[in-house]
């Protein structure tokens, strides 16, 4: 939330290249919304175990390192979450 709030503050109080920084901060902060919702849904008793049933954990951990880079691209995680929810 702090990243998004800082982005809104920068957008409201600046111009030029600083405005681009504000947009990036806001977009990066919004990436955490679907991540937080997913973490919340997995916090129910048994939900995480059910999600991980039959998953190759070593393979997924290797892929997770690369997937974490998407958080730096503003709105990428949010857009992917909306696309996944629609399908």
Would residue 83 be called left, alpha or beta, if left means φ above 0 and alpha means ψ between -120 and 50 degrees? alpha
Q: What is the DSSP letter of 65?
A: H
Residue 45: per-residue pLDDT: 94
Residue 65: per-residue pLDDT: 78
pLDDT band at 9 (very low <50, low <70, confident <90, very high): very high
Predicted confidence (pLDDT) per residue in 19-63, tens digit: 889 988 998 888 888 889 989 999 999 999 998 898 888 888 888
Residue 59's alpha-carbon distances to 53, 54, 65, 71, 80, in angstroms, are: 14, 12, 11, 20, 21
pTM of the model: 0.68
């Amino acid at each position: 939330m702090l990243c998004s709030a800082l982005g809104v503050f920068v957008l409201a109080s600046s111009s030029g290249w600083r405005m681009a920084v504000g947009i990036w901060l806001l977009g990066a902060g919004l990436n955490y919304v679907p991540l937080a919702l997913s973490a919340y849904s997995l916090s129910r008793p048994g939900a995480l175990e059910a999600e991980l049933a039959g998953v190759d954990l070593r393979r997924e951990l290797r892929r997770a390192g690369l997937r974490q880079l998407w958080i730096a691209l503003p709105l990428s995680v949010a857009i992917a979450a909306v696309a996944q929810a629609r399908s």
